[in-house]
Amino acid sequence: MRKAILCILALLLTGAMLVGPGVAAQDDEKVTIEFWQHESGGKIQAMASVIEGFNELYPDIEVIQSSFPYEEYQTKIAASVPAGTGPDVAMIYFGWAPLWAKSGFIAPLPAEVQDVLVTEFAPFVESTKLKGEHYAVPTSIRNFALVYNVNLLAEAGWDTPPDTWDEFVQAAKDCTKYDDAGNITQAGYYLEWGGDGWNWWRPLIEAYGGQVFSEDYKTALWNEGGALDAWNYMLDFTQVHKTSIPGFYEGELEAFAAGLTCMTPQLTFAVGFLRDNAAPEVEWAVAVMPEGPAGRITTGSSWPLALTTKALEDEAKLDAATKFLLYMASAEGQERYNDITGELPSRMDMVELPKYAEDPIMAPFIAQLEQTTGTFWADELAERQCALDMYDAVTVGGMDPLEALNMGTECDQAVRDAFFADW
């Protein structure tokens, strides 16, 4: 019996010894900074390439790169903060910046980095500018353009993609196919509200002359003026035009890649996905977003790098992190990153390079960079929830559209009020 106890203890010890802590012995000469990111496609390799380039310039700074699945990224960071083991530089979603800044997890960028952002970068960087200070260095910039299936649209009588939002509806209707029982077998435009739909609904509000939020970001204006038209426009796809049903497929991009839909507004990164995953028979192309009564407007998103407050505690680390962020903001860093992910750099001087500007797939994205607005999110997750609920309330809950829109706007207003109450 004592053997049993000893056996267990021995097992425990073996387990403990089998594995030393996975940290390599540290060189005293070197400054080490921790960089965390979430995993997706080529981002890990892209950042590895950035770090490699950085080390050619600064061999004395070691950047430890760790990556975690997107779904658990925040959990991982949350656990690391009280333990004091987190990153010095972290890749964040631009929509998280306000809340993360408010919690004191990320700090304003050093002045020299901010200067570069102000002079060299696309206007989109304003979305991570809080109280007059920039908080994040974009890696790439993503904005919406219209991705369409050339053959399916041609079959439906559209040799060129729709150029206005009214034409878009017509094209979607023409391109939708039904079976004998009236079920959709091919969707002209498949709208997944919680996927991309609600994301391009916001620039649509502006294209219809409305405003998503007030100038000071404090008020939600989803149910005023042109915003009402945009809301009805979005709802009509499933309610009136029947070009799609909710949950038509598992994701809009996937449905498009499978050749089941004719058109889908997509962010820049979809290009990489489609190159790898589109079905062989799907011949696709990209056009600028259609135009609305008030113009052609699109929105963007990005996964920029931010400095954490942890890095501020140590001068050497802060200095190293500043150098790293400056390198990321340089033409070389931007190029290394985007060569691997196949996206667009967010420096305005770089998008004019022939390799981007003359690429027929990239050109429509670049053409819209100047009109790409960012959204200031007080609490992206909560505000998304408000938008999702108001859409579901109409489409599966049977609520009156206007009543639902008012409900959603109030819901979002409450989130904004809570955020700005102590900001």
Partner 1 sequence: MRETNNPNRLWLRPGQIAQYGLLSIGGFIMIFPYLWMVSTSLKARGTWYNISLIPEQFSLEHYDRLLGTSLLPRWYLNTLVVALVATASVAFFSSLAGYVFAKYEFFGREFMFMIILATIMIPTEMMIVPWYVGIATIGWIDTLPGIMMPGMLSAFGVFVMRQFIANTPDELLDAGRIDGVSEFGLFWRICLPLARPALAVVVIFTFLGHWNDFLWPLIVVNSDNMQTLQVGLSRLSSLETGADWGGTMSGAALASIPMLVVFMFFQKQIVRGMKMSGLKG
Partner 2 sequence: MTTERPYAGLKKLLATRRLTLTQRKKLWAYIFVALPFAYFLIVNISAMLNSFIFSFQDYMTISTERTWIGLDNYTSTLSNPIFHQALRNTLVFAAVRVPVVTVLGLGVALMLHNIRRAKGFFRMLYFIPFVTSGVAIAWVFKFLYLPNFGLFTHLFDALGLPRQYFLGDPRTALLSIIAVTIWASLGYYALIFLAGLEDIPVEFYEAAMVDGASAWQRFRNITLPLLNRTIVLVVILCMISSLQNFTFVRMMSKDGFGGPLNSTVTMSLLIYKEAFFSLRMGGASAIAVIFFAIIFVLTLVQRRLLVREFEY
Which residues contact partner 1 by CB under 8 A? 1, 4, 8, 11-12, 14-16, 18-23, 38-41, 43, 66-70, 72, 75-76, 78-80, 82-85, 251, 253-254, 257-258, 269-270, 273, 276-280
Give the H or E element holding residue 230: helix 226-239
Give the H or E element holding residue 208: none
Q: Applying CB under 8 A, does 313 fall inside the site for partner 2?
A: no
The least distance separating partner 2 from the CB of residue 77, rounded to whole angstroms, comes to: 6
- Say which entry of partner 2, partner 1, none residue 392 contacts (CB below 5 to 8 A, set by partner kind): partner 2
The least distance separating partner 2 from the CB of residue 121, rounded to whole angstroms, comes to: 26
**Residue matched to tokens 């094209």:** 171
Using alpha carbons, select from 194, 247, 214 the residue that is nearest to residue 409: 214
Identified binder of partner 2 from the candidate list 81, 150, 228, 363, rule CB under 8 A: 81
- Say which entry of partner 1, partner 2, none residue 280 contacts (CB below 5 to 8 A, set by partner kind): partner 1
Q: Applying CB under 8 A, does 17 fall inside the site for partner 2?
A: no
Which two tokens mark 415?
A: 């989130």
Identified binder of partner 2 from the candidate list 228, 392, 407, 410, rule CB under 8 A: 392
CB-CB contact of 122 with 334 (8 Å): no
| Options 21-29, 146-154, 281-289, 388-396: segment touching partner 2 (CB under 8 A) | 388-396
Residue 251 CA to residue 383 CA, distance in Å, equals: 21
Identified binder of partner 2 from the candidate list 189, 249, 303, 377, rule CB under 8 A: 249
CB-CB contact of 126 with 279 (8 Å): no
Identified binder of partner 2 from the candidate list 225, 293, 295, 397, rule CB under 8 A: 397
The least distance separating partner 1 from the CB of residue 65, rounded to whole angstroms, comes to: 10
SS3 content of the chain, % helix, strand, coil (to 5): 50, 20, 30
Distance of CA 151 to the CA centre of its chain: 29
Q: Applying CB under 8 A, does 135 fall inside the site for partner 2?
A: no
Q: Applying CB under 8 A, does 150 fall inside the site for partner 2?
A: no
Q: Where in 246-385 does DSSP place strands (E)? A: 261-267, 284-287, 298-301, 305-308, 344-345, 372-373
Residue 403 CA to residue 423 CA, distance in Å, equals: 30
# of chain residues touching partner 2 (CB under 8 A): 38
CA-derived radius of gyration, the chain? 24
Q: How far apart are the first and last CA of the chain?
A: 63
- Say which entry of partner 2, partner 1, none residue 102 contacts (CB below 5 to 8 A, set by partner kind): partner 2
Site residues (vs partner 2, CB under 8 A): 2, 5-6, 9, 71, 74-75, 77-78, 81-82, 99-100, 102-105, 181, 183-185, 194, 245-250, 379, 381-382, 385, 388-389, 392-393, 396-397
